[in-house]
Amino acid sequence: MRPGYPWREFGVLVGAGLVGVLLVLPYQLALLPAPPIPLPVLVLAAFVQSAILLAVATGLGLAAARRVGLGAPFVEASLYGGDSRAALRALQLPLAAALGVAASALVIVLELVIFRPLIPELAALGAATPARWQGLLASVYGGISEELLTRLFLVSVFAWLLSRVLRGALVFSSAIVLAAVLFGLGHLPATAALLPLTPAVVARAVVLNGIAGVVFGWLYWRRGLEAAMVAHFCADLVLHVLFGG
């Protein structure tokens, strides 16, 4: 563990997160009705808000992660003179990609078998589905920016707090589940723009996003942040590109 705060790592991660924020804008705009304010003003306000949120979440997340032994091993090795090749191998990115695809497949099955029959209004949302190229750009946001907000920030902070009262694997498993639930709840504002928030709609957001969040959280804990990012990106490719558009 390097002494002091990892400012270079902070800069790299926030910069990557901001790229994701820019790339997701076409996807978000495709889902929204005509904005009540000029589009450039809306885009600038959304970017500034996201930039502040990312900077705060990444800053606190890095501080908490270092206290509980979590982090982004490849980025850290590359920036601070470590063995980046060994760090990259340890991430086991093919496994991460496979788990991301498997998580998205489970989400699709549960959506079709359970939630579509429970929420008939979902069938009417096809016209609002963004194009595949927009889904591809949004997948970068999911893989990078959302992982900074949820895994790096939420899992790390929860693990640090829980480590004061729990021990061992229970610290991380509890933190992963808590972050996954909040990850699901965090999708409700976007859902509310399209559907009334009935109990079934809330359960859908928590269960489907929570399943993926647990997978990404486990990878963050056992392999590193970059593995979680790859899994999330691959899962979003399936959901927003292969089955989107």
Rounded average pLDDT over 53-63: 97
Residue 160: is its pLDDT beyond 70?
yes
Instruction: Report whether 43 contacts 27 (CB < 8 A).
Output: no
Mean pLDDT of 82-97: 97
Cβ contact 226:73 at 8 Å: yes
Which residue is it, tokens 């229970």? 170
Spell out the residues 6+ positions from residue 180 whose beta carbon is closer than 8 angstroms to its own.
209, 210, 211, 212, 213, 214, 217
Top mean pLDDT of 33-47, 88-102, 106-120, 185-199 is at 88-102
pLDDT tens track for 92-101: 999 999 999 9
Q: Give the C-alpha separation, 173 to 177, whole Å.
A: 6
Name the pLDDT band for 40 (thresholds 50, 70, 90): confident
* Average per-residue pLDDT for the chain: 91
Query: Structure pTM?
Result: 0.92
Boundaries of every domain in the chain: 7-242
- Per cent of the chain over pLDDT 70 is 95
Residues 178-204, mean pLDDT to the nearest whole number: 86
